[in-house]
Chains A and B, each alone.
Chain A
Amino acid sequence: MDKKRRDFLKIAGASTLAGLGGTAVVDRLVSGTSPVQSKATKEVDSGHGGGHEAAAQGHAAGVEVAKSGNRFGMIVDLRKFKENPALGDIVVEACHGTHNVPDFSEKKDEIKWTWLTGYGGAFTEHSRLYKDQLTLDNDVLVMCNHCDNPPCVRACPTKATFKNKDGIVAMDYHRCIGCRFCMAACPYGMRSFNWRDPRAGLDMNKLNNEFPTRMRGVVEKCNFCAERVGLGKQPACVEACGDSKALIFGNLNDPESEIRKVLKANYTVQRKPSLGTHPSVFYIV
């Protein structure tokens, strides 16, 4: 065999080109179109029903494409919380009591499903410059946003956290291995890790016997009261607000629902909308 360097380089160059071009040709043959196009078509199929152009426009403008099925969401009317400053604690207590959320005094061990935080902490993308004192003085109720595009679900290696058919980002504590990837992925910091046995922080005589506790080594967060919503009830926090309408819960995909009507009638904001997680919790500031 007498191979010249010149021949070798020719063959190497040709096979590199064939290798690079070949995969692209195969991809195109398999899918029929380019990957980008097929993705856009899929979105039209599952949602809008409108034309290809509508989906493309929606994408460009950052408009959320409504999907079929339920998507439960909530409105937090901060005006009502300002009117009644005690309401926030009532809501938090109702949630934590319903779900047997432990109470640890050390901050690093804290377990929280919903809580009150300052305006700046809740709305980091909003300017606080010359903001009115009432807004700055009153805390904001925060909870899991049950995003339509949840980064925690993508991060979870065991599918312990997932989006269920009602659009609720739920947890299956049986599957959680405590890796805390979801905590790192959540841009809102709405998840807590059980560093200690949660039962040590609970009054075992005052438990809600219809809902389990958690165990050491799992991550937990608000579940939008999936166990109550599944039975047609309102979430515990909404129920705790009574008739004040400080919290409004409903199906965002149903144009006739109360939540959609309130959303239509009021200016609302979401937390960190620029991240593209599409939160399902809206705030009337």
Chain B
Amino acid sequence: MYDSGKIIAGLIIFVLFVTFPIWYNHGDAGAVPKVELPKDTKECVLPADQMRAEHMQLLNVWRDEVLRTADRSFNVKIGDKKYQMSLMNTCMQCHTSKKKFCDQCHDYTSVSPYCWDCHLAPVE
């Protein structure tokens, strides 16, 4: 092979350059998002880890129940109180800040749910 030294060196530089984002950020996931939890309540609809993983499915189920089967009853239990299946009238009553709660993780994971195109975030 002619010019093997140049080619191999060039290949190494190329591979290093292409994988730059991987090894440069290795072991560092960036600052973990900090969400502000409601001060006066400790309980949510589901345990925290389940909510973290499944809140989007839960909201979809709620949406379909409320709109499609017209079930607007207060059948969501949080502690002793009962609530409606509602993003605006239940979730956001405890999580009073979209910026300090929803947006923290959504920005971090770079997702932009379209909830707020129509639904109203609490006034901050």
Give A residues with C-beta under 8 Å from B.
100, 162, 164-166, 168, 170, 172-174, 207, 209-215, 226-227, 230-231
Main secondary structure of the interface of A (DSSP, over half): loop
- 17 sample A-B contacts, Cβ–Cβ < 8 Å, listed by A number: A100-B120, A164-B68, A164-B69, A164-B70, A165-B69, A166-B70, A168-B70, A170-B67, A172-B67, A174-B63, A209-B123, A210-B89, A212-B88, A215-B114, A226-B70, A227-B72, A230-B71
B15 adjacent to chain A (CB < 8 Å): no
Chain B 45-102 residues near chain A, CB threshold 8 A: 63, 67-73, 88-89
Are A212 and B70 in contact, CB atoms less than 8 angstroms apart? no
A231 to B74, CA, bound (A): 9
State the Cβ distance, B112 to closest chain A Cβ, in Å.
14
Main secondary structure of the interface of B (DSSP, over half): loop
A214 to B120, CA, bound (A): 10
Beyond A170-B70, A209-B88, 10 additional contacts (C-beta under 8 Å) are A162-B68, A170-B67, A172-B68, A207-B120, A209-B123, A214-B118, A215-B117, A215-B118, A227-B72, A230-B73
9 closest Cβ pairs, A-B complex:
A230-B72, A215-B117, A212-B118, A164-B70, A212-B119, A172-B67, A215-B118, A213-B118, A165-B70
Cβ-Cβ contact count across A and B, 8 Å cutoff? 41
Query: In the complex, what residue of chain B is closest to A197 when comparing beta carbons?
Result: B117
Q: Which residues of A contact B70 (CB under 8 A)?
A: 164-166, 168, 170, 226, 230
State the Cβ distance, B86 to closest chain A Cβ, in Å.
8
A173 to B117, CA, bound (A): 11
Query: In the complex, what residue of chain A is closest to B117 when comparing beta carbons?
Result: A215
A212 to B115, CA, bound (A): 10
Query: In the complex, what residue of chain A is closest to B70 when comparing beta carbons?
Result: A164
Are B88 and A210 in contact, CB atoms less than 8 angstroms apart? yes
Q: Which residues of A contact B69 (CB under 8 A)?
A: 164-165
Q: Which residues of B contact A165 (CB under 8 A)?
A: 69-70
Query: In the complex, what residue of chain A is closest to B84 when comparing beta carbons?
Result: A231
Are B68 and A213 in contact, CB atoms less than 8 angstroms apart? no
A211 to B118, CA, bound (A): 9
A231 to B72, CA, bound (A): 7
Q: Which residues of A contact B89 (CB under 8 A)?
A: 210
Q: Which residues of B contact A231 (CB under 8 A)?
A: 72
A83 to B38, CA, bound (A): 52
State the Cβ distance, B31 to closest chain A Cβ, in Å.
32
Are A173 and B118 in contact, CB atoms less than 8 angstroms apart? yes
A227 to B89, CA, bound (A): 12
Query: In the complex, what residue of chain B is closest to A174 when comparing beta carbons?
Result: B63
